[in-house]
């Protein structure tokens, strides 16, 4: 139990967005994904997910970890209603119409509550993504459903302390999600295998150093000094605990930092590349497109669409 207390204490939480939606037009998104975690509470109607299109019952929650593409269907759909995630985001208002809680009660249409949030270990590792778990349904948990409703209800208010209350609710949401996973013994193997980074302070030192020096020298030689291990061993050591080699992890973190800068600043692609450790802009652009499947400029437009309420 102490181990999982340490896990929970190590996870930093940030609310991203939340809303209620009426399903205006049924749609299947073949690769539904977000850069952060998403919890979708089904109030009324039809919600299915995964390749087998497993059903979510009314009052249940579909949880999609950050960066995990998942086939999701809102409403009763046919083959003709399929689209990809980019097209869905560009035409989101055509499929989902924002509504308030007071309108949900009298609504007979399909409707959902959706909350998106960040959960990162030591502000570095995306927690739920790092566990390697797929999207799953949270059944028979009125507490989590109530928290999701409270988050969005608070976001609709214009009262003092709103941001702090939302933060507290979002932190509570993450705690209850972890408790639900443990209580129902979900993904036991993934938890024991993929969360070993909590057990070694030297690895945490490397995580923190990488975060603080994302644009600097992060060679294995430098990391070996941080962890106080040999340069020949540091790559093997890092991979043994995380499942990936350090340079692949560093590139992923640099690209994540680049996405955040694209989302939150108007800096040029060249300046962003340099800030996250790429002196060669052309190389940065090639690696970015290879990792995300689209150019950095298009990613900036895509992220602006994601954040449209």
What pLDDT does 176 receive? Answer: 96
Find all residues with CB under 8 Å of 115, minimum gap 6, and list them. Answer: 15, 17, 18, 38, 39, 148, 151, 152, 170, 173
Cα separation, 167 vs 177, whole angstroms? 15
What pLDDT does 260 receive? Answer: 87
End-to-end CA distance of the chain: 39
pLDDT tens-digit map of 176-215: 999 999 888 888 777 766 666 666 778 878 888 998 999 9
- Give yes or no for a contact between 31 and 87, defined as CB atoms under 8 angstroms apart: no
What pLDDT does 106 receive? Answer: 77
Domains within the chain, CATH numbers bracketed: 1-184 (2.60.120.280), 200-299 (1.10.10.60)
Residue among 126, 186, 166, 137 at smallest CA distance from 39: 137
Phi-psi region of 266 (alpha: psi -120 to 50; beta: other; left: phi over 0): alpha
Find all residues with CB under 8 Å of 271, minimum gap 6, and list them. Answer: none
The 3-state DSSP class for residue 119 equals strand
- Give yes or no for a contact between 99 and 111, defined as CB atoms under 8 angstroms apart: yes
Q: Residue 63 has which token pair?
A: 């949880």
- Give yes or no for a contact between 202 and 229, defined as CB atoms under 8 angstroms apart: yes
Cα separation, 256 vs 253, whole angstroms? 5
Q: Residue 103 has which token pair?
A: 């309108």
Cα separation, 202 vs 221, whole angstroms? 15
Cα separation, 166 vs 164, whole angstroms? 5
The overall pTM is greater than 0.75:
no
- Give yes or no for a contact between 32 and 69, defined as CB atoms under 8 angstroms apart: yes
Cα separation, 144 vs 138, whole angstroms? 9
What pLDDT does 198 receive? Answer: 63
- Give yes or no for a contact between 89 and 15, defined as CB atoms under 8 angstroms apart: no
Cα separation, 233 vs 240, whole angstroms? 11
Q: Which residues of the chain are under the pLDDT cut of 70? A: 1-3, 122-124, 192-199, 243, 302-309
């Amino acid at each position: 139990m102490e181990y999982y207390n340490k896990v929970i204490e190590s996870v930093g939480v940030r609310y991203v967005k939340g809303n209620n939606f009426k399903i205006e037009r049924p749609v299947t998104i073949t690769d539904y994904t977000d850069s952060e975690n998403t919890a979708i509470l089904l109030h009324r109607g039809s919600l299915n997910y995964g390749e087998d299109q497993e059903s979510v019952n009314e009052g249940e929650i579909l949880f999609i970890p950050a960066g995990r593409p998942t086939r999701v269907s809102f409403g009763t759909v046919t083959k003709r209603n399929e689209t990809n995630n980019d097209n869905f985001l560009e035409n989101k208002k055509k499929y989902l119409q924002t509504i308030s809680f007071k309108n949900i009660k009298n609504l007979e249409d399909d409707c959902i509550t959706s909350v998106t949030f960040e959960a990162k270990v030591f502000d570095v590792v995306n927690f739920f993504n790092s566990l390697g778990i797929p999207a799953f349904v949270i059944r028979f948990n009125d507490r989590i459903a109530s928290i999701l409703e409270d988050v969005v209800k608070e976001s609709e208010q214009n009262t003092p302390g709103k941001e702090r209350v939302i933060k507290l609710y979002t932190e509570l949401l993450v705690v209850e999600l972890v408790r639900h996973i443990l209580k129902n013994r979900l993904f036991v193997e993934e938890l024991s295998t993929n969360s070993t980074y909590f057990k070694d302070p030297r690895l945490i030192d490397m995580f923190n150093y990488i975060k603080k020096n994302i644009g600097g020298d992060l060679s294995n030689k430098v990391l070996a000094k941080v962890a106080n291990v040999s340069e020949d061993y540091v790559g093997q050591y890092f991979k043994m605990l995380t499942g990936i080699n350090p340079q692949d992890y560093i590139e992923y973190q640099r690209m994540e930092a680049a996405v955040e800068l694209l989302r939150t600043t108007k800096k040029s692609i060249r300046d962003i590349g340099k800030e996250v450790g790429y002196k060669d802009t052309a190389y940065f652009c090639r690696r970015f497109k290879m990792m995300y499947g689209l150019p950095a400029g298009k990613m900036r437009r895509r992220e602006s669409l994601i954040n449209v309420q």
